[in-house]
């Protein structure tokens, strides 16, 4: 089976056929950096990180572009509220997003363009649209003429133009030919940042930014455009309109992840119910939070509850427990071991992570049985399968990401704990169980849990 994905534009599951054989190009609408990220924002990053990893594992050379919208009405509003320059707001929150992506194990994008660095490309795109009769300048602004594209506008969101509301993206609607026309460029206003253009100084509209960046880095026609389902209209609808009206093929597939909700409401800072990433990784470890976000199907909505979060953490710990115990028996894991066919089929079927994780848990159950029987050959095979599946999902507990490569203190702690465990072992051998228990309690007080196994005592940081 080859990769098949649900394409929002056709509302069908389609076989993935890349524009260029052997290569896959993905554009993901990244952060608008007016505030730090909550888990609803980062879900998209995790979902598309799994897609990227699976495509790479399937043999594609993946080019992954995730943009940063660093100028926007919301950023300007926060800037005014805090009495700091707009770029301070953008830089601060972009760093928070980068930290969150890294903390949850998302691979760095191939390229991560900022909107403000691509004004020349935006000007060129507007000039092409004006020349083709699809855009017009008015009062320092530039607008896309939706009537000029009326036969196709609304195809992604499955709407008809006559049923659409006004774009409501300007203070003076009289500048527009049609109230549904959307702003490509916004003329200069007092106190706002501006860039020069042939139509006067101003700043870009949100939709224009993504079209300019996507085509610059991925070409006029590329494979996949992704983002949250809340972006289908107007953002992605407008991207398609302006890009194709300018003569670009643009994205061949559109993928949208579902929302994360609390009490049936979409998470947003304005609702006051945002769960910021630094707070979340105090509740569970980052890898457990990634498991929670990656586990449901990417198109489904997630109804957040702390109970569900802790259940996901416990499920991951069961997987991790097998990997840890098996690795004490099997020291060399076959990184080239084939993936279980059911796992591959699940991910090829529109990135079916729930079914893929079900395969992981089934293999773990078999592995635990093999461990109890002392069947090292079976343990070696099942450990390799488990770790290779987890690697695709970005969840391998033995990967450098989750073992703390670089600043890892594990060797230091190992050496210190080893001394204590030797003392405890000696106490047990001389039947001084009070001393042995005291050593164990001292380690527990230091945040280290000791487990006695058939292969000797092992330790881990307390949860």
463 residues of the chain, pLDDT tens digit each: 799 999 999 999 999 999 999 999 999 999 999 999 999 999 999 999 999 999 999 999 999 999 999 999 999 999 999 999 999 999 999 999 999 999 999 999 999 999 999 999 999 999 999 999 999 999 999 999 999 999 999 999 999 999 999 998 988 888 999 999 999 999 999 989 999 999 999 999 999 999 999 999 999 999 999 999 999 999 999 999 999 999 999 999 999 999 999 875 655 655 555 689 999 999 999 999 999 999 999 999 999 999 999 999 999 999 999 999 999 999 888 888 899 999 999 999 999 999 999 999 999 999 999 999 999 999 999 999 999 999 999 999 999 989 854 345 566 666 777 777 777 888 787 887 787 788 788 888 877 887 776 666 767 666 6
Model confidence, pTM? 0.89
The verdict on residue 54 lying in a domain is yes
Question: Looking at the domain assignment, is residue 168 inside a domain?
Answer: yes
Is 287 a domain residue? no
| 16 and 127 share one domain | yes
User: What is the C-alpha to C-alpha distance for residues 2 and 17, in angstroms, rounded to an integer?
Assistant: 9
Are residue 63 and residue 126 in the same domain, yes or no?
A: yes
Separation of alpha carbons 208 and 245, rounded Å:
12
269: in domain:
no
Same domain, 426 and 367: no
Q: Are residues 168 and 208 both part of a single domain? A: yes
- Any domain includes 285: no
Is the same domain home to 223 and 332?
A: no
| Owning domain of residue 345 | 302-403
The answer to whether residue 392 sits within a structural domain is yes
Residue 322 neighbours by CB under 8 Å, 6+ apart: 364, 367, 368, 371, 383, 386
222 and 308 housed in the same domain: no
**Based on the domain organization, do 414 and 385 belong to the same domain?**
no
| Residue 19 placed within a domain | yes
Co-location of 202 and 349 in the same domain: no
- Is the same domain home to 345 and 449? no
Decide: 103 and 45 in contact? Cβ < 8 Å.
no
Specify if 265 maps to a domain. Answer: no
Count of C-beta atoms within a 10 Å radius of residue 257: 29
Strand order in the sheet with 260-262: 265-266, 260-262, 302-303
CATH of residue 358's domain is 1.20.120.640
Q: Are 205 and 183 in contact (CB under 8 A)?
A: yes
Which pLDDT score, from 0 to 100, does residue 407 have?
43
Tell me, yes or no, whether 376 and 248 share the same domain.
Answer: no
Domain termination residue (choose one: 378, 403, 428): 403
Domain match, 370 and 447 both: no
Tally of domains in the chain: 3
Do 316 and 192 belong together in one domain? no
Q: Which two three-digit tokens encode residue 412?
A: 């230091």
Of 403, 430, 449, at which residue does a domain stop? Answer: 403
Spatial contact of 295 and 312, defined as CB atoms under 8 Å apart: yes
């Amino acid at each position: 089976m080859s990769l098949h994905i649900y394409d929002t534009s056709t509302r069908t599951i389609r076989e993935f056929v890349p524009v260029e054989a052997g290569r896959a190009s993905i554009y993901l609408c990244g952060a608008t950096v007016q505030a730090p990220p909550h888990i609803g924002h980062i879900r998209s990053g995790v979902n598309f990180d799994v897609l990227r990893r699976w495509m790479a594992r399937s043999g594609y050379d993946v080019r992954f572009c995730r943009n940063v919208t660093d100028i926007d009405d919301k950023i300007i509003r926060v800037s005014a509220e805090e009495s700091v320059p707009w770029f301070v707001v953008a830089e601060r929150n972009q760093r928070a997003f980068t930290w969150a992506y890294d903390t949850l194990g998302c691979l760095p994008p191939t390229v991560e363009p900022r909107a403000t660095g691509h004004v020349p490309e935006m000007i060129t795109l507007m000039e092409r649209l004006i020349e083709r009769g699809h855009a017009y300048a008015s009062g320092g602004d530039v607008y896309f003429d939706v009537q000029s594209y009326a036969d196709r506008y609304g195809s992604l969101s499955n709407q008809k133009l006559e049923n659409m509301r006004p774009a409501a993206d300007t203070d003076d609607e009289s500048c527009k030919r049609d109230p549904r026309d959307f702003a490509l460029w916004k003329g200069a206003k007092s106190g706002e940042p501006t860039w020069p253009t042939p139509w006067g100084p101003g700043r870009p509209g949100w939709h224009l930014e993504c079209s300019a960046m996507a085509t610059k880095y991925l070409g006029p026609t590329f494979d996949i455009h992704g983002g949250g389902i809340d972006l289908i209209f107007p953002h992605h609808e407008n991207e398609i309109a302006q890009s194709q009206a300018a003569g670009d093929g643009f994205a061949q597939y559109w993928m949208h992840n579902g929302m994360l909700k609390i009490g049936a409401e979409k998470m947003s800072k304005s609702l006051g119910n945002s769960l910021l990433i630094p707070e979340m990784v105090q509740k569970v470890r980052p890898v457990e939070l990634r498991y929670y976000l990656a586990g449901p199907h990417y198109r489904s909505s997630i109804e957040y509850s702390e109970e569900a979060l802790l259940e996901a953490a416990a499920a991951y710990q069961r997987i991790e427990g097998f990997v840890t115990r098996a690795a004490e028996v099997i020291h060399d894991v076959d990184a080239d071991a084939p993936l279980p066919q059911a796992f591959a089929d699940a991910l090829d079927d529109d990135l079916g992570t729930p079914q893929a994780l079900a395969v992981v848990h089934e293999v773990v159950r078999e592995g635990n049985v093999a461990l109890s029987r002392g069947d090292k050959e079976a343990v070696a095979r099942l450990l390799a399968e488990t770790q290779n599946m987890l690697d695709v999902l970005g969840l391998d507990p033995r990967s450098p990401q989750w073992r703390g490569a670089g600043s890892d203190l594990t060797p230091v702690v190992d050496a210190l704990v080893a001394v204590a465990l030797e003392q405890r072992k000696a106490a047990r051998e001389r039947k001084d169980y009070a001393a042995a228990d005291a050593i164990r309690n001292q380690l527990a007080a230091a945040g280290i849990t000791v487990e006695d196994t058939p292969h000797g005592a092992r330790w881990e940081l307390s949860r």
